[in-house]
């Protein structure tokens, strides 16, 4: 009986997708009638609101691509009817999501308990279409929520670029041997002589697509003038992180008019909420110190876009090192940050792209962060922020880490600057 139900569900999806494909192509050859054509297309997809809950194994790659493209085109804001219009200066929170559901559960729970979270729009940007993760995001009721999906992910392109093309060169093959066998990217190894690895390249691609999409590609945020807070799936926020952000914004012009990034997280191990809760420090932005809980304004984004070529061609698969490179080599004014002395964004991830631990449980780190916040309760929600200048020395600009020598990565990266303003 279960097998029959499964076959029936699969057949229903296939029939629906076929109808959608036919309707989509009919609309493509008809005259462009503006938004009504797009609305008619979306209204004709009765399974769209529930397909997010289907097991992905029941969808082939073509179907999954179609669903992702449709959701990206729809740009649906969940809970908009509950929370209504939002003010121009309210924050947008953008979360980059991969596959680590246990971490994401903790992040969502911390957001739920954050003061004023109901006045935000939270955008989840995914590079994997996953039924359980989608179900978690769709269950959120405490704020406005949107899901967007990176359309050039490895999951959606498993056998061709930007995934792992069978004709791509192996990472460690010498260039001479690569040219001899005629693999696709033989002429474009990185600065260290290695060839691209899709799983590393994807993170930078996703980050760049996501920030372009958030600022320029979504109707809900395209003209938004408020702050954009960038988080990742293995972060956790303090209950007063939005309150502290408001204090930093209020004092930014007088404390540091040339500071263009606010940092709500810190990698320091020596903070003390009793003494540091209402303190922050000014520093030149350094990728390894100030990339957690970054807050970026549209004014800064417009400056970053002018350096898209430098960002997209810098031979480093890390988005933050690439950002630091354009700060040092391209931007008219280098990136400076005001960073809180006591963090309001915490990193709880034990395993990620660069880690190979057998035990990836977040429990130990999570327990430590919870204990820290419990102890800090009397010192949360400070009435003001005192800003001083950091005495930390800024070292030499970092050398590129490589992994980004392939011109196909450069072209795809650059294409996102204009593509996101046109849609999915």
Residue spans of the chain under pLDDT 50: 1-54, 354-355, 421-424
What DSSP string describes 211-225? HHIIIII-TTTTT--
Q: What percent of the chain has pLDDT over 70?
A: 81
Average pLDDT, the chain: 85
Q: What percent of the chain has pLDDT over 90?
A: 73
Q: How far apart are CA 125 and CA 213, in angstroms?
A: 10
**For the segment 234-246, what is each residue's pLDDT rounded down to a tens digit?**
999 999 999 999 9
**For the segment 379-391, what is each residue's pLDDT rounded down to a tens digit?**
999 999 999 998 7
Tell which CATH classification among 3.40.50.720, 3.90.550.10, 3.40.190.10, 1.10.730.10 matches the domain 77-155+197-419: 3.90.550.10
Q: How far apart are CA 150 and CA 65, in angstroms?
A: 10
Residues 6+ away with beta carbon under 8 Å from 375: 273
Q: What is the pLDDT of residue 419?
A: 64
CB 16 within 8 A of CB 23: no
**For the segment 1-26, what is each residue's pLDDT rounded down to a tens digit?**
434 344 434 444 443 434 333 333 32
Taking the CA atoms of residue 176, residue 181, residue 184 and residue 187 in that order, the dihedral angle to the nearest 10 degrees is 10
CB 112 within 8 A of CB 133: no
- Rounded to two decimals, what is the model's pTM? 0.84
**For the segment 185-231, what is each residue's pLDDT rounded down to a tens digit?**
999 999 999 999 999 999 999 999 999 999 999 999 999 999 999 99
Domain boundaries, the chain: 9-76, 77-155+197-419
**For the segment 166-186, what is each residue's pLDDT rounded down to a tens digit?**
999 999 999 999 999 999 999
Q: What is the pLDDT of residue 42?
A: 34
């Amino acid at each position: 009986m279960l097998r029959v139900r499964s076959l029936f569900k699969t057949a229903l999806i296939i029939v629906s997708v076929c109808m959608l494909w036919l309707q989509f192509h009919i609309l493509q050859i008809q005259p462009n009638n503006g938004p009504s054509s797009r609305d008619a297309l979306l209204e004709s997809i009765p399974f769209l609101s529930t397909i997010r809950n289907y097991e992905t194994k029941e969808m082939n790659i073509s179907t999954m691509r179609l669903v992702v493209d449709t959701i990206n085109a729809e740009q649906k804001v969940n809970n908009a009817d509950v929370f209504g219009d939002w003010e121009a200066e309210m924050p947008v929170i953008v979360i980059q999501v991969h596959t680590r559901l246990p971490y994401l559960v903790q992040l969502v729970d911390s957001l739920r308990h954050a003061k004023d979270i109901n006045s935000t729009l939270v955008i989840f940007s995914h590079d994997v279409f996953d039924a359980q993760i989608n179900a978690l995001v769709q269950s959120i009721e405490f704020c406005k929520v949107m899901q967007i999906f990176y359309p050039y992910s490895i999951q959606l392109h498993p056998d061709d670029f930007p995934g792992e093309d069978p004709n791509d060169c192996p990472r460690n093959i010498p260039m001479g041997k690569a040219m001899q066998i005629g693999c696709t990217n033989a002429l474009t190894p990185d600065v260290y002589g290695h060839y691209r690895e899709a799983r590393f390249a994807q993170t930078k691609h996703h980050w760049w697509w996501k920030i372009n999409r958030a600022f320029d590609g979504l109707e809900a945020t395209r003209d938004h003038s408020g702050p954009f807070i960038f988080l990742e799936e293995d972060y956790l926020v303090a209950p007063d992180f939005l309150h502290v952000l408001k204090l930093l914004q209020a004092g930014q012009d007088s404390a540091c008019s040339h500071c263009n990034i606010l940092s709500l997280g810190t990698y320091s191990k020596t903070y003390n909420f009793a003494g540091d809760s209402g303190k922050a420090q000014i520093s030149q932005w350094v990728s390894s110190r100030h990339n957690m809980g970054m807050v970026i304004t549209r004014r800064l984004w417009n400056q970053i876009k002018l350096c898209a070529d430098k960002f997209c061609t810098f031979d480093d698969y890390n988005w933050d090192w690439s950002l630091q490179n354009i700060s040092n080599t391209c931007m008219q004014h280098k990136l400076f940050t005001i960073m809180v002395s006591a963090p309001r964004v915490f990193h709880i991830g034990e395993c990620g792209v660069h880690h190979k631990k057998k035990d990836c449980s977040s429990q130990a780190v999570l327990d430590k962060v919870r204990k820290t916040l419990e102890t800090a309760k009397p010192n949360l929600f400070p009435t003001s922020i005192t800003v001083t200048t950091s005495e930390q020395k800024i070292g030499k600009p970092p050398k590129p880490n490589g992994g980004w020598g392939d011109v196909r990565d450069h072209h795809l990266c650059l294409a996102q600057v204009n593509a996101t303003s046109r849609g999915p």
